[in-house]
A and B are shown apart, each in its own frame.
Chain A
Amino acid sequence: MEKFTVLNSVAAPLMLANVDTDLIIRIERLYRLDRGELGAWAFESLRYLSDDRENPQFLLNQPPWRGARILLAAENFGCGSSREGAVWALWDLGVRCVIAPSFGDIFYNNCIQNGMLPLRLAAEQVESLAAEAKNVGGEISVDLAAQQVRTASGRLLAFDIEPGQRETLLKGLDAISLTLAYSAEIDKYQERDRMLRPWLYRKA
C-alpha cells in the first residue's frame, strides 16, 4: 500500500453534508470497471450535465480545484453503502485526503485500508479552511507524522488519529500479514470456542 506521509495540495471546499457513497460512485460503475478506471465517474451526478457535458458549476470542474488532492467536506462524509469503490473513485480522481468533521464509519475504515487519510477536524476548523481556500487560495500541507495541518496562511491545526491507523498509513502496512502473525492465538480462540459453543460446530 502507498505510504501517506506529507501531502501538499490545494484543498477543494466541497463543503456538502452527508455526502453518501452512492453519490461518490454509482454502483453499476463498480462491476464494469476496475480500480484505476473510476476517476471519470466520481461524483458523476454532480460533475456532468444531462447531455454528458461537464457541469461548469461543480467545484471540482473549476480551475484551482480540478485535480485537488485534498477535499474539504461537511459532516458525515462517505455515509451510506460499504462500497470501497467510493474510496477508489476518489483515489482515481487524485484525492489522497478528505478533511471533514465526521465520516461514515465504514468509509473511514475503507480509507485506512487504501492509504487515504480521513482527517477529522472540528466543524469550525474545516469551515475556516474552506473560507481560506476560497478567499486566499494556495496549498495547505498535511503532515501525518506530526498530526498537523498547516493552512495556506501558515496557521497550524492539530488533529487526532488512532495510533494503529496512523502507523498503517505512515508505513503503508499490510493488515493481513500483520494479523497472520496471530495465527496461534486464532487457533486457540477457535479451540476454546468449540468447547463453549459446540452447537456451532455440528453440521446442519
Chain B
Amino acid sequence: MHSMAARTLFDKLWDAHVVADLGDDVALLHVDRQLLHDLSGYRALRELQRRGLQVRNPERAYAVPDHLVSSAPGRSGGNAEWSNLQINGLRSSCDKWGIRLFDVNDAEQGIVHVIGPELGLTQPGLLIVCGDSHTSTHGALGALAWGIGSSELVHVLATQTIVQKRPRRLRVHFSGRLAPGVEAKDLILYLIGREGAAAGTGYAVEYAGEAISELDMEGRMTLCNLSIEWGAKIGMVAPDARTCDWLKGRPHAPRERDWDAATTAWRALRSDAGARFDREIEVDACKVEPQITWGTSPQDTIAVSARVPDPSATNDIARRAAMHKALEYMGLVPGQAIAGTRIDRVFIGSCTNSRLVDLRRAAMLVQRAGRRVAPHVRAWVVPGSQSVKREAEAEGLDRIFLDAGFEWREPGCALCVGANGELIAPGERCVSTSNRNFVGRQGPQARTHLASPVMAAAAALAGEIADAREF
C-alpha cells in the first residue's frame, strides 16, 4: 500500500520486514539479527528454557558479555562471583543452542553496540533488536534497530519475529557544518537539550543534512546512540558511500559478487524526495558549542561557556521543582559558571564514545596539551572492544594515555552503568562520555556530567570542567 508513493527510509525498512499485517497499524515483523548481552540476553535465554520453548534461528543470534565483565587490566571475567555466575550462564545457554558467543577474552569481544557494526553484523537494511535501549546505535548504518525488553526478546528468540506498532516518522535536518572542537556528542546533546527528553517518544527518527553527511561513521553511531535519550527508540542515517567504505572487508560484511549485489540494494535505502514525515526539525549545526550536562537528565545540557541555569527563571512550577532537585543532587548553584567545577573522576568509554576515533581525538588533545591528569583525578579509558583496543595500541594511543596518568582498561560497559561493580563513589563528580546522567546511574549519589571524549580528556587534565577548545 505504501509502495508507489514516495517513502521514507524508515517505511522502506519497515515494509520490507512485514511478515503479517495485524491491523491497526500493528505488524508482525521479521527480525534479521538479535544481539544478546550478559544481562537481558541471558535472562531471555533462561526464561525461554524455563518455558520449554525453542530458539527458532540460533544462527541469527550473537551473544557477548559486556555489562558484567571487569574492565581491570588482565581481567578474566567479572569482578564478583555473581557476575561470573551470569557470564557462565550465558556461556552454557549459548552452547546449548549453538549461538555464537564472543567470550570474555575473545578477539572480537566488546560492548554489543560497538562490535555489531565493527564486525559487519550490522548492515544497512537489517532489522536488528537487542534487549538494550541503545540498540538505536545500529541505525547509524541504515539498519532498522531498536531496544526491547526481555519478554519481547524471548518472543524474538522463539519466533524470529516481533509484534510492533508502526511509529510515526520524524526527520532532523542538521544544516551547516560543525565548528572545530565540536563533536557528534555535542550535536545530539544540544538537540536533546533544545527539544526535551520526551520529544522523540513514539517516533522513528532519521538524521539528515550536511552535518550528517560530513560526519564519520563513529559520529553517526554516537548520534543514533543517544536517540533513546530524547525518547526515540529508533534513530537512523541513510547509508551512503561512507557507510559502504566503512563496512567493506569487515568479517561479516558481504564479499565479492555479494558485495556488489548488497551495495546496489543499500543504495536504494534512503528517503525519497517528497516522502512525508509526521514531524520535521531543523537544527543549525554551525551554532552548536561543546556541551556539558548540569543535571540528572540528558536534556539538562548547556554550552561549556554557559552558566548553570536558574530554576526561578522558569514559570513552569513542576519544571522548577525538578531543576531544584537536580541541582541539589549535582551540588551546583544556579548562575555559577559550569567551567571550573572541580571533578574527581573521568570516564572515556561506553557504547556512545569508545570507538577508535573517539579515543584518537581524546589522545590527540592530551598529546597536544602536553599535560598530565590532575593529581586529584582518577581518569579511565575503556576501549569499546578488543578490536578498538588492539588498533589503539597499534597507534600508540595507550602510551599517550598511560604516560599522562590515565588508566587504560579492558573492553566493556564498565562505569557507564556500574553493573560490574565498578562505580563512582557517593558525592564524587565524574565527567563521562556515556549517555545517561540519571540519579544513581554511575553509583548511588554519583554525580555525572555527560560530554564528548575531548571534553572529558580536557577535564581530566584540568581537574575541573573545561573547554576542550582551549587545549
Which A residues are in CB contact (< 8 Å) with B259?
Answer: 199
CB contacts (< 8 Å) of A198 on chain B: these are 258, 261
Q: How far is the CA of A133 from the CA of B60 in the complex (A)?
A: 50
Interface: B289 (CB within 8 A): no
Residue in contact with B82 in the complex, picked from A32, A80, A175, CB distance below 8 Å? A32
Residues of B within 8 A of A179 (CB): 28, 155, 158-159, 161, 163
**Segment of A59-67, A81-89, A135-143, A145-153 in the binding face:** A81-89
- Does B268 sit at the interface, judged by CB under 8 A? no
Q: Size band of the A side of the interface?
A: 35 or more
Tell whether, in the assembled complex, residue B438 and residue A22 are in contact, meaning their CB atoms are under 8 Å apart.
yes
In the assembly, what is the distance between CA of A105 and CA of B136, in Å?
13
B261 CB contacts on chain A under 8 angstroms: 198-199
Q: Is B440 engaged at the interface, CB distance under 8 Å to the other chain?
A: yes
Residue B72 at the chain A interface, CB threshold 8 Å = no
Contact in complex: B440, A45 (CB < 8 Å): yes
Q: Which of B146, B149, B444 contacts A84 (CB 8 A)?
A: B149
Judge whether A113 and B152 touch: CB under 8 Å: yes
Partner of B201, one of A76, A83, A164, A185: A76
Assess whether B148 is interfacial by the CB under 8 Å rule.
yes
- B258, A15: Cβ atoms closer than 8 Å: no
- A106-130 Cβ-contact flags toward B at 8 Å (1 or 0): 1001100110000000000000000
Interface check B39, CB cutoff 8 A = yes
Q: Taking the complex as formed, is A47 at the interface, i.e. its CB lies under 8 A from any CB of chain B?
A: no
Interface residues of B in 304-351 (CB under 8 A from A): 318-319, 322
Name B82's closest neighbour in chain A (CB-CB): A32
Most chain B beta-carbon contacts within 10 A, residue among A26, A114, A162: A26
Rounded to whole Å, the gap between the CB of B328 and the closest CB of chain A is 13
Per the bound structure, the CA–CA distance linking A22 and B445 in Å amounts to 13
CB distance from A180 to the nearest CB of B (A): 6
Q: CA of A185 to CA of B163 in the docked complex: distance in angstroms?
A: 14
Q: Measured between alpha carbons, how far is A31 from B81 in the docked complex, in Å?
A: 12
Contact B149 A185 (CB under 8 A): no
Residues on B with C-beta less than 8 A from A200 are: 32, 126
**Roughly how many angstroms separate A48 CA and B12 CA in the complex, as a whole number?**
49
Q: Is the CB of B149 within 8 A of A113?
A: yes
How far, in whole Å, are A22 and B418 apart by their CA atoms in the complex?
12
Nearest neighbor of A77 in chain B, beta-carbon distance: B198
Asked if A6 lies at the interface with its beta carbon under 8 angstroms from chain B, I say no
B138-162 residues at the A interface, CB under 8 angstroms:
146-152, 154-155, 158-161
In the complex, how many angstroms separate the beta carbon of B219 from the nearest chain A beta carbon?
A: 23
Q: Which of A23, A75, A76, A87 has the most CB of B within 10 A?
A: A76
| B231 close to chain A: CB less than 8 A | yes
**Is the Cβ of A28 less than 8 Å from the Cβ of B418?**
yes
Report Cα–Cα, A199/B151, bound state, in Å: 30
Tell me if B198 and A15 are in contact (CB < 8 A). no
B155 surroundings in chain A (CB, below 8 A):
175-176, 179
State whether B436 touches A105 (Cβ < 8 A): no
Once the chains bind, are A45 and B444 in contact (CB under 8 Å)?
A: yes
CB closest residue in chain A, given B60: A200
**A27 at interface by CB-CB < 8 Å:** yes
Give the residue of B22, B24, B133, B229 whose beta carbon is less than 8 angstroms from that of A106. B133
In the complex where A22-B438, A80-B436 touch, is A182 in contact with B197 (Cβ < 8 A)? Answer: no
A193 CB–B CB distance under 8 Å: yes
Chain B nearest CB, measured from A68 CB (Å): 20
Residues 18-45 of chain B: 1 if any A CB is under 8 Å from the residue's CB, otherwise 0? 0110111010101010000001100000
Complex Cα gap A45–B441 (Å): 11
Q: Are A182 and B152 in contact (CB under 8 A)?
A: no
Q: Is the CB of A193 within 8 A of B297?
A: no
Known: A32-B82, A164-B23. A202 touches B258 (CB 8 A): yes
How many angstroms between the C-alpha atoms of A176 and B154 in the bound complex? 8
- Closest A residue to B125 by beta carbon equals A197
Q: Quick check: is B88 within 8 A (CB to CB) of the other chain? A: no
Check B181 for interface membership: any CB of A closer than 8 A: no
- Is the pair B19, A15 in contact by a Cβ cutoff of 8 Å? no
- B40 x A82 contact (CB < 8 A): yes
Q: Do the beta carbons of B439 and A45 come within 8 Å of each other?
A: yes
Which single residue of chain B is at the shortest CB-CB distance from A203?
A: B59
Interface pair B39/A189, CB less than 8 Å apart: no
Within 8 A of A (CB), among B70-85: 82-83
Q: Quick one: given A80-B228, A84-B149, are A189 and B197 in contact (CB under 8 Å)? A: no
In the complex, chain A residues whose CB is within 8 Å of the CB of B318: 15, 17, 74
What would be 7 A-B contacts, judged by CB atoms less than 8 Å apart? A28-B421, A80-B229, A81-B133, A105-B167, A106-B228, A162-B26, A175-B151
Supply 12 further A-B pairs (C-beta < 8 A) apart from A81-B132, A204-B251: A26-B440, A31-B83, A79-B201, A82-B148, A103-B201, A105-B232, A113-B152, A179-B28, A180-B159, A186-B56, A189-B19, A198-B261
**When A and B form their complex, which 7 residue pairs have the shortest distance between CB atoms, in order from nearest?**
A76-B198, A199-B254, A199-B258, A113-B151, A110-B149, A84-B149, A82-B147
